[in-house]
Amino acid sequence: MEHSRNVSALVASLEKASGLESRGRAYKKICQLAHKDAKVNSWKFNEWDYGKNNITLPCKARGLFISDDEECPVIVARGYDKFFNVDEVSYTRWDSIESNTVGPYEVTVKANGCIIFISGLEDGSLVVCSKHITGPRDDIDRNHAEAGERVLLKQLKLKGINSRDLGLELYEGNLTAVAEYCDDSFEEHILEYPLDKAGLYLHGLNLNEPNFKTLPMRAVTMFGTKYGFKNINAFIKDDVGSLKVFLEDCAVNGSFNGEEIEGFVIRCKSRDTGDSFFFKYKFEEPYLMYRQWREVTKDYITNKSRVFKFRKHKLVTNKYLDFVIPILDNDSRLCEEYMRGFGIIKLRNMFLQSLGMSGMEILNHEKVMQLELKNSIDYDKVDEHTKFLVFPIAVIGCGKTTTSVALTSLFPDSWGHIQNDDITGKDKSKLMKKSLELLADPNIKCVIVDRNNHQFRERKQLFEWLDELKEDYLPYDTNIKVIALSFASYDDLDKLKTLTVDRVLERGDAHQTIKVDQYGKAKVLGIMGGFWKRFQPIIEDKSPDNRFDLIIQLNSLQKDSSLMNVKTILKRLHDVYPILIPEIPSEESINIAFQKSLQYKPKMKERKVTNNETVSGTPKKKVRPAYFSVNIKDGTPIKELISNVIEKPSNISEDAQTILKNLLQNDNFQESFHITLAHVMQGKRGDPAEQELWKAYLKHYKKILKSYNDKEIPKLIETNDFVRFQPKMICWDDKIVSIVIKFPNDECVSDENGLLVTKLKCANKIPHITVARLQDNVKAVYSNTICKDVVENRDATNINHVELVDSPSLTGNVCINL
């Protein structure tokens, strides 16, 4: 038995995968067991790596706990292999399910709570885990694993069963019991679980083996009954045809047996291998509407604003707000509880009761549907009034501008082209303002918004600007189709790196911002390396990329790839939107337009000449730093700290966790992380100690600053001095995420020999890192406010915060920011 449980080969593969930089990277978390002096390692992967045909993961389990035993590791607890919704990936399309799976198809109602894994050790002691964490924790106030264990012990006591009996049966069967903890008093989700329905719903018994194997539902039901679990409704459909009819019938009402449910999980076998195969069928409504009500309520509580930009359910959501706003305005306690994740369902039910209808009855009510239709835009309608925006997703050297110029040359009267490098000033949204201003021209049908847009954050930003600004330039009922041009595919990244570097070096200074001859090869390679490091290819089923109406995948590796991409774009647009391109231009016209694009010369940005400079551009004025900082080159450890907070069960509210989950999922982090050591405003307007500290920094780095007097002044100078620090606490609200840090010594700067530099301290009373700004109008200085609030008023503050235990010691170089 022990030999069969040995998973040394799997552990070796996981350890190897943990060294990868990106695709397929594994993450390990060491957990102390609650009832035994032993540890287990929790393993996970990035969500977007599951389901990729070109990525082979060592194991697809979501929830994988392996004993911390180098000689003979065993799987202690194992979740299901990651499974997907119908049509979410290629192998969950109905035609693929019919071809590649065999019945019977076991259908189970999808519970709506938090996942709990239960397993046993050789001595019968229980191991209870949440999705990725087990054991005691002192950095949170809501431990899902501990809460799940309390409920488990309570149900065993009611049955008169010793917990050791359950532990031994799970151990001897090499099994993990998979349950959903549903309890509104602990954590509210979308579906309602009052006291009489609350508890652990058992829906799986998995074998603790690398390959996914799970017992049939009849065995799960018997086991659940024996140990006092709440059982999931389960039944069988013999074939795909009857299964599909049943699921689609239930989706019409969003319910099963008269109760609202989120959907179903379907279990069957792979036709080729006989392995367990899961997929799910989730209902869109009324849960989309319910989530929308939750979000507008939070927005009103936070901002006292009832402006929202959802495409659906505008009429009924406004009716909902009419009902709840007076209640919220007169009950501050309710508002506080709502933001902590409690009372959401109660408020929703109060509104539904006031109407005397269920959610689905509202959606299916003829009068409501008529009014919604009258007050909505048909976003699927494409006619002569439809406008188009094109967002490239690329990196430097992919040919996006060449392609854009060729397309606008083909249609000079109806296509426009706005380049981000032409936008000046601090207002970044000017890119969208200019694009919409051009699109508002009656003759213009399509505008290319030419920016790299190589991160989720940038694409999200474009969609937010579009939502916010559209009606300032165009009639409210104008339908805009947004098209993505994906120049760099996920599979071709390594080849593209080499190819684009060669193209940029060959181009020399023929670019608005990347000038090889002026900057030098090393600096240009550094700039491009930063782009590649930050590059996030399109993920069609994830926000914000799931908002594109059309994604056109291009190939930037071919010879004459820009010409080929122009042809690909024309064909796809003609096929999908013939109203935009009724007829594909002739080969001759395309070639002429492409040759014209090759002759295109961008406007070169020149540095302004002031009265203190010569015409040649040689600086004569003194170099004046804006601030001194500790710059963190590798942001991975910082992001992992955020990820760990989500993985660990916590007493922070679901909404607070959702903020961090969205941050990770959309990668909305600052482009780089730094700790401000001293700022020029502290030197000018600070107290005497701060002014003296600023003078000390200027004096220490005087030689470095002088060395730039006869050269072009860079924006940032990296020194050889460094600072050690340790992250101590994460603080966040819906506007900003920050990390409070601590230095080993008051004088925190060390020179290149490791010796402390006297007098160089941190001017900020609470040193911190601004991790992410979640709203465009929030300034980084707001980090000071929330960190100060938490540190000085920890027990009373409303700011979300989690103290970090055993966080790693990190280092960063001192940089001079000009």
Q: What is the end-to-end Cα distance of the chain in Å, rounded?
A: 65
Residue 247 · residue 235 · CB < 8 Å = no
Q: Which two structure tokens, joined as six digits, stand for 387?
A: 């406008």
**Which letter does DSSP use for residue 183 in this model?**
B
Distance CA 667, CA 684 (A): 36
State the alpha helices, DSSP H only, in 701-737.
702-706
Q: Which two structure tokens, joined as six digits, stand for 334?
A: 């309710």
Handedness of CA 287, 289, 290, 291 (dihedral sign): positive
Q: Which two structure tokens, joined as six digits, stand for 324?
A: 């709840």
Distance CA 178, CA 220 (A): 10
Report angle CA 140, 141, 145 to the nearest 5 degrees: 80
Distance CA 630, CA 494 (A): 31
Closest among 73, 77, 78, 61 to 3, alpha carbons compared:
73
In the chain, the amino acid numbered 717 is: I
Q: Which two structure tokens, joined as six digits, stand for 180?
A: 């959903």
Distance CA 721, CA 760 (A): 11
Distance CA 563, CA 445 (A): 22
Residue 526 · residue 501 · CB < 8 Å = no
Q: Choose, from 60, 110, 445, 648, the residue flagged as catalytic.
A: 110
Strands annotated E in 151-233: 175-182, 199-207, 230-231
**Which letter does DSSP use for residue 198 in this model?**
-
State the alpha helices, DSSP H only, in 212-282.
217-227, 240-253
> How does strand 39-45 pair with strand 64-67?
antiparallel
Residue recorded with tokens 């914000």:
544
Residue 111 · residue 95 · CB < 8 Å = no
Question: Does the annotation mark 523 as catalytic?
Answer: no
Residues that are catalytic: 110
